[in-house]
């Protein structure tokens, strides 16, 4: 019986997963269709535009390498957001946590001279710790004061943004809007130029892009997150809190503690994206006038992946490739790169449609259940009133009956009293008569 139930459940899960995948593919196709319409309205040839777009990704091994480099931070921020989503939390602070990872990675990489292998490890660990604390702060605010994580994380994003500029100005290169580069011992570039020259033609071109160990760390992080969520007690408890906080508390889970833990892990992953970006690609801390949107792109990546850790790899590669190829379509046809944002936005819009319908369906179901519950309560109330009226009627009848019985008892008592008096009077008269008779004799 149990095996049959498990098989049925497995089939349902497979069918659900297939339907999600199908809808994601349809959303992507619709996104490209809307992009084609926009290109056509703007006076550009959609076929030529998409040719330039895909050539920008796949034309040379170097382009593929650059697409991977662009995708790496988005995969990690998407993974961080996905982890929070899985536990019922909406981490809008991925951008701020990314920035915190970047800042700490720069400070350790530039200010703290260490041996080559140890240096990046220390920088990454400290950056992840800082990101975890930054995320945990938002979790603590929610658990302790009930302030929604969306509000607190958005505010913390701006704190991180201005803190980055503060650190950037403090370490600014002369005549530049960036800081000095991190030390060579802290860099995590995968291969140096001398080593790349020994590779074959394909990999020689592929590694002309600044491929770094952050990509490998992203894949490892995805596997670890999947394992935590699906194979550990911690993952079970976190998902239980996300599904129903009250029920999990009734089951003995400390929901406040789990919220803090979830936001801490999410923040650590987003900070990993920031530190690998600065140690593997940018090397310097930029003085920025606007956020880079790696965290907000992570939201889109997680949504397209259906909040599945494994799916985040593919959706991250997709978004990163589109962003990189956008420059090629602009160079070849003069099309503004905003067309890529239109395509991405449309894809996300169509991806979110099932979620909207699910929310509407849930609200309708809740209203229906509330109406049914109200009807049941009304019927129970009416029955209760009827039963109460019946009890009162019985009590009234019983009271009348008791009163009548009491009256009868009183009457009987009175009659008995009168009869006893008559008997006494008769006896007295007999005694008097006897006395008189005896005297006469």
Higher pLDDT: 159 or 192? It is 159
> Does 294 score more than 70 pLDDT?
yes
Closest residue by Cα to residue 304 from 144, 87, 94, 74: 74
Q: pLDDT tens digit string along 313-324?
A: 999 999 898 888
Where does the pLDDT of residue 59 fall: very low under 50, low under 70, confident under 90, or very high at 90 and above? confident
Handedness of CA 417, 419, 423, 425 (dihedral sign): positive
How far CA 146 is from CA of 8, 143, 256, in Å, comes to: 39, 6, 10
| 403 pLDDT tier (thresholds 50, 70, 90) | confident
Given this model, what pLDDT does residue 374 score? 75
pLDDT at 392 over 70: no
Is residue 137 pLDDT above 80, yes or no?
A: yes
CA atoms within 13 A on the CB side of 54: 6
* Nearest-angstrom CA–CA distance, 225 and 87: 12
Beta-carbon-side half-sphere exposure of residue 174 (alpha carbons within 13 Å): 0
Task: Tell me the CB-side half-sphere exposure of residue 349, using CA atoms within 13 A.
Answer: 11
Domain ranges for the chain: 45-334
Task: Compute the distance between CA of residue 277 and CA of residue 189 in angstroms, rounded to an integer.
Answer: 10
Q: What is the pLDDT of residues 78-113, one digit of tens each?
A: 999 999 998 889 899 999 999 999 999 999 999 999
276 pLDDT more than 90: yes
pLDDT-derived band at 389 (thresholds 50, 70, 90) equals low
For the ranges 41-45, 129-133, 191-195, 349-353, the maximum mean pLDDT occurs at 129-133
Q: Which CATH architecture has domain 45-334?
A: Orthogonal Bundle (1.10)
User: CA-to-CA distance for 265 and 154, rounded, in angstroms?
Assistant: 18
Comparing 18-32, 62-76, 427-441, the range with the smallest average pLDDT is 427-441
Q: Look at residue 144 and tell me whether its pLDDT is greater than 80.
A: yes
pLDDT exceeds cutoff 60 at 262: yes
């Amino acid at each position: 019986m149990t095996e049959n139930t498990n098989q049925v459940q497995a089939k349902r899960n497979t069918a659900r997963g297939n339907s999600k995948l199908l809808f994601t593919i349809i959303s992507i196709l619709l996104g490209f269709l809307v992009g084609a319409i926009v290109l056509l309205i703007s006076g550009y040839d959609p076929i030529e535009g998409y040719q330039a777009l895909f050539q920008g990704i796949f034309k040379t091994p170097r382009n593929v390498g650059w697409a991977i480099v662009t995708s790496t931070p988005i995969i990690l921020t998407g993974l961080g957001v996905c982890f929070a989503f899985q536990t019922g939390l909406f981490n809008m602070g991925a951008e701020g946590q990314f920035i915190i990872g970047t800042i700490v990675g720069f400070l350790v990489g530039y200010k703290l001279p260490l041996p080559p292998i140890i240096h990046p490890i220390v920088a990454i660990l400290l950056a992840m710790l800082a990101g975890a604390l930054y995320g945990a702060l938002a979790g603590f605010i929610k658990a302790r004061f009930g302030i929604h994580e969306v509000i607190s994380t958005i505010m913390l994003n701006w704190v991180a943004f201005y803190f980055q500029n503060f650190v950037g100005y403090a370490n600014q290169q002369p005549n530049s809007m960036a800081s000095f580069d991190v030390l060579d011992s802290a860099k995590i570039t995968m291969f140096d130029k001398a080593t790349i020259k020994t590779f074959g033609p394909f990999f020689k071109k592929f590694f002309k892009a600044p491929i770094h160990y952050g990509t490998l760390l992203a894949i490892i992080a995805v596997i670890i997150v999947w394992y935590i969520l699906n194979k550990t007690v911690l993952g079970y408890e976190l998902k239980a809190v996300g599904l129903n906080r009250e029920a999990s508390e009734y089951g003995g889970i400390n929901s406040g503690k789990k919220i803090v833990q979830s936001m801490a892990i999410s923040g650590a992953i987003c900070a990993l994206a920031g530190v690998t970006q600065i140690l593997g690609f940018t090397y310097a801390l930029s003085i920025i006038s606007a956020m880079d949107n790696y965290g907000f792109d992570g939201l889109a990546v997680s949504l397209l992946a259906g909040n599945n850790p494994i799916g985040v790899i593919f959706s991250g590669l997709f978004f990163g490739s589109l962003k990189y190829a956008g420059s090629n379509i602009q160079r070849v046809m003069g099309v503004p790169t905003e067309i890529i944002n239109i395509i991405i936005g449309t894809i996300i819009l169509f991806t979110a449609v099932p979620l909207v319908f699910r929310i509407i369906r849930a609200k309708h179901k809740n209203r229906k259940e509330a109406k049914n519950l109200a009807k049941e309560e009304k019927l129970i109330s009416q029955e209760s009133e009827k039963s109460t009226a019946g009890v009162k009627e019985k009590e009234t009848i019983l009271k009348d009956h008791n009163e009548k019985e009491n009256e009868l008892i009183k009457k009987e008592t009175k009659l008995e009293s009168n009869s006893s008096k008559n008997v006494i009077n008769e006896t007295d008269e007999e005694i008097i008569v006897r006395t008189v008779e005896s005297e006469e004799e």
